[in-house]
Structure 1
Amino acid sequence: MAPLSQEPVSLLLLPALVLGSTTASLISAYKKTFETLFPRLVQPNTQAISRLDVAIALSPSYPPSPNIPRSALFIPIQRLLAETYSLICAVAAETKVDLDFPGGLDVRIFLLETRVDELPRGLSGTQVLSGPVVDIQTFALAARPYTTIYSVEGEVGEGLLRSLITAWQSKKSRSAPPVQRLPSGPAIVQPSASQTAVHEDGPVTSHKSVAVGGTFDHLHIGHKLLLTATVLAAEPSNPSSPTEAPRLVTVGITGDALLVNKKYGSVVEPWSVRQQRTAEFIESILVFHPDVSSITKTEHIDQPGPNGKIVRVTYGADISINYTEISDPFGPTITDEGISALVISGETRAGGNAVNDKRKEKGWKELEIFEVDVLDASVAMDKDEGDGRKKQESFQGKISSTDIRRRLLETTRASAAG
């Protein structure tokens, strides 16, 4: 699926901190890097949105992702995603850089697995549909149009950069893009061998059919976090089990009829645009194939009854994404018994409970609920009166479809008046 924007794409390599690191450590490690990079990438006073892919390499304190179920990794990975996206929003607010808005940045995060020697035999270099966690050999094969690679200074950052360049040169006939180095904070250190465990209480269930829902209007960082977590929760197929069922991710997208009364409704994106933008984002953090179009099949389904309008995008034999138009708060979760897990934000916990109440009424098994943290800038920004309050308001505006619509409408009116 072709992206809606053809703007240049940059890559930022970030070493992950030790599993269980504090939020303060993450801020100390990454904030200076973001503050240095973001202003360089923006193209103010244009309609261009510069895309930045952030590849966070999992540190040795995380178990190699293919060796344990994704469900067991969900909590620490989503926390890493949520805290990093929160910091991105906070730095953007402080540096007056727009996010997901003309003249600003489109930032996307995925996870990079560099410990190829610890992966099951034959897996390295073949995980083309394993996003949002991908091994470095598979990533090097992907045809990503990066114009620049940004790396962080220091021993760990240099080691990560060398690993990527080595993989790139061994898998491609062309050289890697030019590299620029950025300053980082002091918290990026190599963990010791003793810091290498994920502890789970009780059994962990793997899920092949996972759902999420939302309006996904003017896709922003809050949406990106939710969608990335949803893909994370769906267990990839095991190459040694060819008969294993493929994954199905159901993305319920609110129908146009339910959005007519939205504030600044004249600039709400139609369902087809919201579907396309959502699909393009998911593809960017899920699929790492050298020729994506060769494994992609798109079907348009329009059946009678609720949840009958679907755009189904299938990649190879491993995963299908159903982009389903929904007309009520429950969507396919109460019409598709096969869905086994639901991903929600911390703000919509009541909705997840309501879904399970409906499923119990039907005699169906309840869904396992995976909750994603709410983005929060308070740890990275001043909470004092005055300028701190303005920064908080700016942060909230970067994760608000309503605020994006307001600004777009004001920009349109200003252009017409001028």
Structure 2
Amino acid sequence: MTRPSTVGGDSLPSLLLLPPPPQPASRIALNAAYDPPIRAVLSRLKCNQAEDGEATLIVALVSPILTGKSLHQKSLSWSHAQSILADLYSIISVICTQLSVPTDVHAGPGSVDVRVLLVDHGRSKLQPRDSKQAIEPNNTVIVDLTTFASAYHPWSYIFHPNNEPGYELLSTYLKCFEGVQTVKHSQIVVVEGGLAISVPPSVPLQAIPQTKPHSVVCLGGTFDHLHPGHKLLLTAAVLLLDVPEDGALHPCQFVIGITGDELLKRKKYAEFVQPWDERATNTIQFLASILELSRHGWKNSQAPQVTKTGGEYTALFRNGTIEVRCVVIQDAYGPTITTENMDALVVSGETRSGGEAVNQRRKELGWRQLEIFEVDVLDAQGAVYKSTDTRDFATKISSTAIRKQKAESRA
């Protein structure tokens, strides 16, 4: 699997451990808690890079995310999870803009490919497991802290905030990490900690309405110069998957419609649009960061096995329980009107009308309509447009802006 393994040559990714968000998790509180450590890590990685280097940073938010008494049967509130993801990616985007650090995938010298992962953990949940059984996936794509420590390694640096929750999280993580990787003292780096004041949540996590998972989830987009908006969309979408147990007859499916090259020829700065194959490959490699689990980590693991058939790339993860399909789309509907067996469609505020059109067309075909899930839209100035917002998205983070920057740098 090619996770964030060899981005920028043989360099290893780094890890930033973030403790649970403050309560209530307002944007002001999240900024106060997470801006200082994220900014410190990005500044350090930017300074540490060689002139031709690229860095990869996994930001692991370790927090009670899942509910359920059984280790293998979990549930989550999708709206809560995607909102936290959106706020984190927005904070990251603002900092990267201020520090002039590109954060799209394979952005070249001086870039930091930041990827946010949600890791499920509460103070009462840690139960040490034998190293051979340390990886215990459940029916979601989110894993617990022990599984995360066992499957995500080795690291170049492990960063943590300089506050009590940060030190507590590091201590717990290192207990899970024993025997996985020998970590030198110089690899563990404390960075500025944000505010860590919390009050008990007004509504317990268990009382928040849980989201029904689905066997087949679909979304569409260009995924050109894979940026934080794309990363949010892909990460939020896979949270909806109902992952079957090993040995199941059929995997769950994540179907990604990626706009064909022909439809992008009239885009602004079209000469900088990445070819479909490159966009599909980058998408699958990014998803491997979230989906693949191996006790070997990534340094000695193989790249995801991708089957290429016509205009489709297919990759299997987690012992074949998750299938990712990247298909070429040449119209507004893509696979949603050529494949009847679908359950959910993920859209953003700017593509909401497209979701409505898809369901209207499926209704005309006599097919069941898809459940629509709407992801927040990231603004280039740091705002997050929630699903209830109705406005133009002229300032949203976009591939066009990235292509414009590349064109201007060539001038």
Matched-pair contact (CA < 8 Å) for 1:129–1:288: no
Residues 289-346 of structure 1, C-alpha deviation per residue, up to 9 Å, x if partnerless? 13465694321112xxxxxx21110122211100111111111111111110011111
Task: Say which SS state the counterpart of residue 197 (structure 1) adopts.
Answer: helix
Could you tell me which residue of structure 1 aligns to residue 194 of structure 2?
185
Residues 114-140 of structure 1, C-alpha deviation per residue, up to 9 Å, x if partnerless? 349648998983345877522111112
**Matches of 1:380 and 1:213 in 2, distance apart?**
23
**Matches of 1:19 and 1:62 in 2, distance apart?**
17
**Matches of 2:98 and 2:407 in 1, distance apart?**
24
Q: Of 281, 287, 293, which residue of structure 2 is paired with 1:282?
A: 287
Amino acid at match of 1:364: W
**Matches of 1:289 and 1:252 in 2, distance apart?**
28
Shift in Å, 1:209 = 0.6
Change (3 A) 1:64 1:58: farther
Q: 5+ unaligned residues in a row in structure 1: which ranges?
A: 303-308, 382-394, 414-418
Residues 130-166 of structure 1, C-alpha deviation per residue, up to 9 Å, x if partnerless? 7752211111222533100000122211111011111
Q: Of 314, 319, 325, which residue of structure 2 is paired with 1:312?
A: 314
Q: TM-score, normalised by structure 2?
A: 0.84
Change (3 A) 1:40 1:122: closer
Listed as ranges, the matches of 1:140-151 within 5 Å are 140-151=149-160
Q: TM-score, normalised by structure 1?
A: 0.82
**Matches of 2:204 and 2:22 in 1, distance apart?**
7
Residues 77-96 of structure 1, C-alpha deviation per residue, up to 9 Å, x if partnerless? 00000011111112223333
Q: How many residues align?
A: 386
Percent of aligned pairs with the same residue?
34
**Matches of 2:8 and 2:239 in 1, distance apart?**
25
Shift in Å, 1:212 = 1.0
**Matches of 2:243 and 2:181 in 1, distance apart?**
29
Shift in Å, 1:37 = 2.1
Residues 172-221 of structure 1, C-alpha deviation per residue, up to 9 Å, x if partnerless? 263467211112222354857984434228xx532011011110011100
21-30 or 181-190, larger mean C-alpha shift: 181-190
Shift in Å, 1:278 = 0.8
Matched-pair contact (CA < 8 Å) for 2:135–2:150: no
- The structure with the greater share of residues assigned to helix is 1
**Matches of 2:165 and 2:344 in 1, distance apart?**
37
Change (3 A) 1:259 1:412: same
Task: Say which SS state the counterpart of residue 146 (structure 1) adopts.
Answer: coil
Change (3 A) 1:411 1:181: same
Could you tell me which residue of structure 1 aligns to residue 236 of structure 2?
229
Listed as ranges, the matches of 1:217-366 within 5 Å are 217-238=224-245, 243=248, 245-291=250-296, 293=301, 296-302=304-310, 309-315=311-317, 316-366=319-369
**Matches of 2:242 and 2:61 in 1, distance apart?**
20
**Matches of 1:189 and 1:174 in 2, distance apart?**
34
Residues 355-407 of structure 1, C-alpha deviation per residue, up to 9 Å, x if partnerless? 101110111111111110111466679xxxxxxxxxxxxx958x221121122
Q: 5+ unaligned residues in a row in structure 2: which ranges?
A: 385-393
50-59 or 6-15, larger mean C-alpha shift: 6-15
Amino acid at match of 1:346: G
Task: Say which SS state the counterpart of residue 207 (structure 1) adopts.
Answer: coil
Matched-pair contact (CA < 8 Å) for 1:168–1:175: no
Could you tell me which residue of structure 2 aligns to residue 402 of structure 1?
400
Q: Of 86, 89, 103, which residue of structure 2 is paired with 1:85?
A: 89
Could you tell me which residue of structure 1 aligns to residue 376 of structure 2?
373
Change (3 A) 1:108 1:188: farther
Shift in Å, 1:17 = 1.4
**Matches of 2:200 and 2:181 in 1, distance apart?**
34
